[in-house]
Amino acid sequence: MPGVRQTVTTHSPREQVFAYVDDYRNVPDWMFGVTRFTPVTDQTCGLGATYQATMKIGPKNLDSTLRVTEWEEGRVVVLTSIAGFDVQTGWRFADGDDGTTVVDVNFDYELPGGIAGRVLGALIEPVVGQAVKQTESALRSAVEGVPSSS
């Protein structure tokens, strides 16, 4: 499964960063390309919470239904697609040595086969680096209260 790995370091407390990332209402504000992130279950956080998401990549909208498949308060959130665009994204939070918070992020995706997969890959791959940088900047700005440079 192709993917992206990134580490984000912020000067905000781990609990604050986790709470911000874990709140579904914030996702479209900081996650590059996400235009919709809506709960489809009464449970809106924690293990089993499920969301309908739309990510705009170039001219294409990619829809997924995502379920929280791993969750530990203050430590980890993993979302796995159960329908639509095949993706898994994980966020692992740790205290840094110098009072910072370190967030290890992974975004793995599976493209369909054939022509559709090649076309989608041609859209996704060029923007992955830009997406990671913008997401990192927006997340850091949101939790540190500093305007983003994106």
Q: Where are the domains of the chain?
A: 3-144
pLDDT of res. 150: 45
Reported pTM? 0.81
Which helix (H) or strand (E) is 42 found in, with range? none
Token pair for residue 37? Answer: 């992130």
List, for the chain, all residue ranges whose pLDDT scores fall below the cut of 50: 147-150
Nearest residue to 63 via CA among 52, 51, 73, 79:
52
pLDDT of res. 148: 47
pLDDT of res. 129: 59
Rounded to whole angstroms, what are the CA distances from 108 to 6, 18, 42, 59, 101? 12, 20, 27, 21, 23
Side chain identity, residue 148: S
Token pair for residue 121? Answer: 């890959």
pLDDT of res. 87: 83
pLDDT of res. 116: 63
* CATH class (in words) of the domain with range 3-144: alpha beta
